[in-house]
């Protein structure tokens, strides 16, 4: 999931190819990410979150499943959506 976030944010804005796995060593790029526009899917059991990088919406979104359990509800995921 982190690699998808990096590719959709920092990686998409670079003019050159970075060193292999550079995104794993320096995680400072995570500070540029923000979550907004939470929305329920049509089924009512999926929650979607829009992700921005430095105020620009990126083409990666996170999806979560909300499932009933004996003690209430549980959120599972995330799945990475393009």
Provide the pLDDT confidence category of residue 70 given band limits of 50, 70 and 90: very high
What confidence tens digit (pLDDT) does each residue in 39-48 have? 887 877 677 7
DSSP the chain: -HHHHHIIIIIHH-SSPPPTTHHHH-GGGGGGEEEEEEEE-TTSSEEEEEEEETTEEEEEEEEEEEEEETTEEEEEEEEEE-
Cβ count near 10 (within 10 Å): 21
* pLDDT at residue 3 in the model: 74
11 phi and psi, to 5 degrees? -60, -35
As given in the structure block, the two tokens for residue 6 are 């990096």
Output the pLDDT for position 71: 92
13-62 pLDDT, tens digit per residue, is 766 566 667 778 888 888 888 888 888 878 776 777 788 888 888 877 66
């Amino acid at each position: 999931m982190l690699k998808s976030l990096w590719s959709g944010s920092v990686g998409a804005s670079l003019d050159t190819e970075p060193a292999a796995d550079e995104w794993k060593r320096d995680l400072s790029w995570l500070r540029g990410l923000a979550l907004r526009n939470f929305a329920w899917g049509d089924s009512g059991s999926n929650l979607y979150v829009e992700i921005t990088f430095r105020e620009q919406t990126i083409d990666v979104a996170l999806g979560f499943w909300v499932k009933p359990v004996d003690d209430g509800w549980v959120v599972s995921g995330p799945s990475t959506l393009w």
